[in-house]
Chains A and B, each alone.
Chain A
Amino acid sequence: MSQNQKAQLLQGNEACAKGALAAGVNFFAGYPITPSTEIAEYLARNLPRRGGKFIQMEDEIASLAAVIGASIAGAKAMTATSGPGFSLMQENLGYAYMAEVPCVIVDVQRGGPSTGLPTKVSQSDTMQARWGTHGDYHSIAIAPSSVRQCFELTIRAFNLSEKYRTPVILLMDEVLGHMREKIILPDPAGIKVFNRMKPTVPPEWYQHFEINPHFVSPMASFGEGYRYNVTGLTHDPLGFPTSRSEEIQAKLDKLEKKIMHNVNDIVQVEEEFMEEAAIAVFAYGIVARAARQAIRMAQQKRIRVGLIQPLTIWPFPDIYMEQMSEQLEIIIVAELNQGQLIREVMRTNCGKAKIYGLNRFDGDILTPEQIFAKIREVR
């Protein structure tokens, strides 16, 4: 079935669901939570239409568990939630990191902490997407800033999760999830979909957590003739629990290198007007939309300010930011929280620039006027 090539008025959550279908999602397990429920409802209607499976589980803990189980059984699986649900999912998210299970978790962020503001926006799960569960692990989190990007980055999330055999978090927010924009979806024929690497050895030689130079192990599914063990206990390449220090070291090294040795492929940053700009606004997600407008307003007043929009939040774009630290004198980090990603900006800048936070956490978005006012204030 083909995507409609005409312009469509799509909601962000809808575009995310459509992107998932374009990426080949065939399993969704979730639990209703505002403002993400539209993704579940869209897939409840449309997954069976293409032979996929949808299930509403009893809570978010069970939802991510079912997603992981399905992925191990060979499905391309996802769930969608918001802050409180994302908190519940953390233990099983750690399991997916340890067991190297591809899956996509969409977090449509809302005001927190706790029940917070179910129908209002924030970006306050940013750090949680990196550090929410216990232990040492390396997460991938990507953040769209338009309805079109909701579609494109959902596909990218699936591709990254399959390529690196790891969970990927799609950080959306309430405004993005609920807003509508007129977009033309790309021709399905042009969409690149990546699938997990399958083993090329006979079953008796298969190591489900094989350590190789790429740090990504091929992944057989349950039922394909490769009978292996998966566990959340720290394990050897065969998936058997270990307490030997060299095997523990090797496993955790692998989890780190799998991501950190591939940052050139994983990390994406968009920039605008950054050539020779000494001032930058650093913004992601929905705030990047307002920031684009703000820097245009500034350019019109002949203020040379550029926009840095990380599409990849985690791993943080260290290399890019370290390079930019040579030219930047001022960075304004605009976030809908009390200052989370600003810590990473400071870390990678090493004190070379003056860094200002522009923070809004009252449930509404930062406006272009607010960002422009800050630019004028600090320049």
Chain B
Amino acid sequence: MIWLTWRQLRVQAIPVAGAVALLLVALAITGPGIVDAAEDGARSFLTGLSADAFKVTLYYVGIAAAYVFPLVVGAFWGAPMVARELEARTHRLAWSQSVTRTRWLAVKLLGAALVTVSVAGLLSWGVTWWAGPIERAIATGEGTGPFMVSRIEPAVFGARGLVPIGYAVLALVIGVLAGLVVRRTVAAMAVTLVLVLGVQLFVGVVVRAQLVEPEKATSSITQENLVGLMVEGASGPGDPIENVSEIRVETGRTGTWELSNVTLDADDERMRSLPAWVADCGGPPPGESAQAGARAACFDRLADEGYRQQVTWHPSSAFWTLQWRETALLLVLALGLGGLCFWRIRGDAP
């Protein structure tokens, strides 16, 4: 059964594993150079690296590969596993051997999962190791050019550490289940792509932030910490400003994942819109001369009326807690869907 599993998987597994191996070789060749540069270069390290087009590309390719890998596993390893058998009716050949259906599916699923974990693990480990010096620099506030996003932020988080393994395993199971339900290889692949992408987005955007209690701080809004504000109504120079929809302040914290940066009023209510006079805090629009003292008066008025800025964020230190929890969540989900596969395979063989 193990032989059959490998015999059927190898056609799809070898090209994917080959591509991953190629990427790992590129990482292995360039990685030590980055470590050295980070040790010597100190502050100018990322600036220097930004000029190296190959390494910048590799940085993005690494992230993309880690995100795309689960999609490939789901669509090319998972979806055809059972769908192709059902389509060609070969499941009837397989299920009339002296092996129960349950064992047949168990070996195929576990075999593919093992390959998936190995390849995803290697890929993620390689990418995470290679980008390590870069991300340590970003965490200390040296982020520059293409290297701005800290590893805990959504764009990068899913391509680092353990999480890619979780996504890949879940995608595999989603693919198998889609194949069992849809029974057509190509359709199952399409369904799998949509579902896996959906899970990646949903977990990344909605679920992840909830996995750890974020840190929270409230501060007054000053000329020093104001980053910017968003005004509404002024579509061109000279238009009257209707209101201010958003104020953002700087926290001075680096390497964090900022979840929210909102303005509260005196009653601790979140302000969706602020009065038009708040626009003065942003200074004069370009091309207009400043009214002396208007800006300072604006900040005073903000303080007088009880407006404060609240920021919530995940600190850099929450990275591994988030990684473990998200991976566990994905694996539990995979286990549940795997159970569905076994439930689904009982009953009539179509």
A and B associate in one complex: no
Q: Which residues of A contact B (CB under 8 A)?
A: none
Q: Which residues of B contact A (CB under 8 A)?
A: none
